[in-house]
Amino acid sequence: MVTPLRSPILTTPRVRHRKSIEKLRPDQLKALRDGFGAIKTLRDTNGFWFWAELHGAPKNKCEHSPENGYDNLFLPWHRAYLYRLELALQTKVSAATLPWWDWPASRDSGGVPAAYEDIAGEVNPLASADFPPLIAELTAKEGMPTSTWREPGDARRLPTKAEVDAILELKDFDDFSRTLEVQLHNRVHGWVRGSMGIVAIAAYDPLFWAHHTMVDRLWALWQVLHSSRGPRPGIWKRILRGGLDLTVGDVLDTHALGYDYAASTAHREVDS
Ligand SMILES: [Cu+2]
């Protein structure tokens, strides 16, 4: 059964693949860089700041595991959030798609993916981002930088493939979602440290988006593995907060949103 979707999404013409950041072709990496570079200059609802400020400061609309109860909106909320930023990128560079940060691969390649690091003599829009004036004023007051910064740990502390696979095996969706969030997602935020380690300003780092795309990819893999969408049908009509204009039901199927991750998840029937 396919969840009914509202018209703007149904018109998505084709499924695009979100690739590992390590696997982007040079033209795809350029599209990503150009896209981030372009939306950073926008001051409207397609602007990078517009989306970054929704997650943490000042709007604080992101969803995380509830302390108790089981209506965990962490994965649906962030899927809708990534989708909106990807559409914003595509208004400027139509070939841009969000790549995912392959944490286990980064254990071997030395940490933060090279695509997100500074490039000598060049501007890399993925390496950092300025905070908007309101936020920069606050961070400066705290003695912190006025643009995003990272203090990554030892690459060997990033999640292993075995750790990722073990979480994918968890059968209960809320168990899966919470464990993924707390044990891997939080850990990688903390591993990057700097602004990525502070929820209020994490989304201003371009790396945040690759990190969360990995989280979203793991949900997509879990959906295929367990032939389940995840959230209980009772919450499918729930509107995801913050003006994302999507319900939980709208984001259960990545194909309906026009994207997929890789051959391993493509063209497989995922039923609820
Ligand atoms: Cu996060």
Q: What is the pLDDT of residues 17-49, one digit of tens each?
A: 999 999 999 999 999 999 999 999 999 999 999
Q: For residue range 72-123, list pLDDT tens digits in order.
A: 899 999 999 999 999 999 999 999 999 999 999 999 999 999 999 999 899 9
pLDDT at 5 exceeding the cut of 90: no
β-strand partners of 20: 100
CA of 3 to the centre of ligand 1 (A): 26
- Please tell me the pTM assigned to this model: 0.92
Q: In the prediction, which pLDDT does 1 show?
A: 43
Q: In the prediction, which pLDDT does 70 show?
A: 60
CA of 116 to the centre of ligand 1 (A): 17
For residue 272, what pLDDT band results from cuts at 50, 70 and 90?
A: very low
Q: In the prediction, which pLDDT does 251 show?
A: 98
Fold (topology level) of 7-260: di-copper center containing domain from catechol oxidase (1.10.1280)
CA of 1 to the centre of ligand 1 (A): 30
Domain boundaries, the chain: 7-260
Q: In the prediction, which pLDDT does 213 show?
A: 98
CA of 208 to the centre of ligand 1 (A): 7
CA of 79 to the centre of ligand 1 (A): 11
CA of 126 to the centre of ligand 1 (A): 17
Arithmetic mean of pLDDT, 199-205: 97
pLDDT at 166 exceeding the cut of 50: yes
